[in-house]
Structure 1
């Protein structure tokens, strides 16, 4: 794969860089981390700005090399992250684009791109997190609706979401990887209750969602009834293969900031610390090259769906991110106990990365069985 910019890509990079330099200073101040309505408005406002400038659909419709240039330049410039609508832009939206009907794509995709609607993810349950196929939330047909009862947990940004990508069990007699259906749920539907959960870092971006005989139109089903596990694998492929791409660039920026801080506070004199920073630099450079390969592979599938090799990236990135913020704690010393300092809250959140989007144990299994062809464990 040629990693140099073509003349057209170089022109796109220069134009985007110029636009970012003019636009970012005009943005309003970021709201408080606890102000979720304010954060929703801020994140959607940024998405609308991207839309009006012609950059909104770069995650879906742009060539893979252009997509990566966009991620590089926006992260390097310190532009806002996708924020509260990361599920819509990076998970649900690409899944609907790949698996939805023409009517579903027309209904759900434009509002995501225009910064009008937020999505959350209703996959994990109290008794079905790592073993996602063990989910118990039930849905049964009643005319033109499904009636859904159960609960979901770790539902990112449910408190400000308009829609939820929801997994339900529509055939309780089928083997656990079958009989699952992928639905789009309006979060203001009667019977939906959201209870925020406070994390170790004190944030409340997760929630538990309770569903009490909630009615979801059959027209809001993506894919066939009982075929939800296959559709879910599409969602998880995006989550593991490409959704973290921008974060790799962000981690490279943090690494540079750590080196500057180490120079400032005298920690740079420690040769062991310098070796750790150098090893992390090599790790994140390799992860970025792997990201480029994954995005190119996704484009080559025709539907734009990443393959199982995304698990290799997810596995390495999860542990590299933890190593990065452990190193940050070493650079900061006693200040690493202060949640008000840069990187300290990120260190706590990094602990979740070996669990989110499938645990590292699951990723090892996927790599062993689907990539290396090893026999399935009993």
Structure 2
């Protein structure tokens, strides 16, 4: 991907900036800065209404092919949109899992019937999705899933448990990896099902985190049902489809994420100047290194955006950088960082520190990312597996 913008890209950036300036007003102005990691509990319904407003004006699913309801924009233009969206301090979007993960999976591997049924709801942000992958004892080892499903009366009947299910409490649907062939092991015998959440056989239990919020959930399936046709790919081919979904995960939205990172870093620098810690040469050096590291993240992302092999490398880079940024924020604050407001009232930098402790774990731990790089990118011998 080119690092320099064309005149057309510059015009598109001006268009996005102007539109956001005109529309993040009135009732939507109060949503600025809301949502995001550790703060998804903030105004979820109002943010969904804003996302539907985006959809009504053609600002969702920008990279999807036009024939499937998207705008078919280039990678460069998608990056521009996400950067300007972040710079405008627009509220965190509520439909990342549908737009960035499931939608592209259905476009690539779904049936025509599945695309007709589900893509419009993703584009219009009328149906929200969650991802049913991890389980107790099968988080990073995804092939060890034990949630099972069997066909009965033209439906899949599902029993089992998922964990760390982001935003399940708001979702109408879940794309879940389950075991459909009795006696199968590891990657074999898995299927990728689309499961409605609003039914008696599904229970969602929020997991309270260090931040005091509950983005993650446990999801229990006890005789939950979904249609026989709501399997993506063939039954038993779920591992391939699940890996395809993960391949879409490191998308252009990471460039917008980095604009948010820059805002966090600027806030830490401002704190250091206010409390005098900026005069400490060691801390000032760490702040400078953080700024250099952020620029490295951006250039690396731009250069490798169209390369699927770069996903694990990008995750390693940004997760470690962001975790260290949280530590830097606490060191700049000093003893003040140890006090909280009434009812565990964390400020933005305290939330940054606590939530970023998980950056090197969720979405594939650092250890898993290194193994993927070693085996799939560098071609090194595979580590022994039971």
For the aligned residue pairs, the C-alpha RMSD in angstroms reads: 2.1
Q: Which residue number corresponds to residue 61 of structure 2?
A: 57
1:3 matches 2:3: yes
Which residue of the partner structure matches residue 232 of structure 1? 242
Q: Does 1:371 align with 2:372?
A: no
Deviations 1:79-125 (A, max 9, x none): 11113x22222222222222212221222122122121111111111
Following superposition, the deviation at residue 335 of structure 1 comes to: 2.7
Superposed CA offset, 1:38-93 (max 9, x none) = 7331221121121122211225332100010011111111111113x222222222
Q: Is the 8 A contact 1:181 1:226 kept in 2?
A: yes
Give the secondary structure class of the aligned counterpart of 2:269. Answer: helix
CA 1:179/1:310 → structure 2, altered by over 3 Å: closer, same or farther? same
Q: Residue 243 of structure 1: CA displacement?
A: 5.2
1:100 to 102, 105, 110: 110
Q: Give the superposition deviation at 1:241.
A: 5.1
Give the one of 236, 252, 264 matched to 2:274: 264
How far apart in 2 are the matches of 1:315 and 1:200? 22
Q: Who is 1:288 aligned against? A: 298
CA 1:149–1:316: 2 relative to 1, 3 Å: same
Contact persistence 2:54–2:60 (CA under 8 A): yes
Aligned residue in 2 for 1:21: 21
Aligned to 1:303: none
Give, in whole Å, the separation in 2 of the partners of 1:192 and 1:345: 31
d(CA) in 1 for partners of 2:39 and 2:14?
35
Alpha-carbon distance, 1:36 to partner: 7.8
Shift of 1:369: 0.7
Q: 1:251 aligns with which of 236, 243, 261?
A: 261
1:99–1:243 CA distance, 2 compared to 1 (3 A): farther
Q: Which residue of 1 aligns with 2:83?
A: 72
Distance of aligned partners of 1:97 and 1:40 in 2 relative to their CA distance in 1, 3 Å threshold: farther
Q: Is the 8 A contact 2:20 2:88 kept in 1?
A: yes
Please give the residue correspondences for 1:222-371 in structure 2 after superposition, counting only pairs within 5 Å: 222-240=232-250, 242=252, 244-297=254-307, 307-337=308-338, 338=340, 339-371=345-377
Q: Is the 8 A contact 2:191 2:236 kept in 1?
A: yes
For 1:334 and 1:97, how far apart are their aligned partners in 2? 51
What CA deviation, in whole Å up to 9, does each residue of 1:242-294 have, x standing for no partner?
55442222112211222122122211111111211121112221211222233
**TM-score normalized by the length of structure 1:** 0.92
Shift of the alpha carbon at 1:321? 0.7
Change (3 A) 1:355 1:30: same
Q: Counterparts of 1:87 and 1:131 in 2: how far apart (Å)? A: 21
Match of 1:217 in 2: 227
Going from structure 1 to structure 2, the CA distance change for 1:250 and 1:38 (only over 3 Å counts) comes to: closer
Report the structure, 1 or 2, having the larger helix content: 1
Gap regions ≥5 residues in structure 2: 65-71
TM-score, scaled to structure 2:
0.90
The Cα of 1:333 is off from its aligned counterpart by: 1.8
- Structure 1: runs of 5 or more not aligned: 298-306
Q: Verify the 8 A CA contact 1:241 1:313 in the aligned structure 2.
A: no
Number of residues of Structure 1 aligned to a counterpart in Structure 2: 368
The answer as to whether partners of 1:308 and 1:366 remain within 8 angstroms in 2 is no
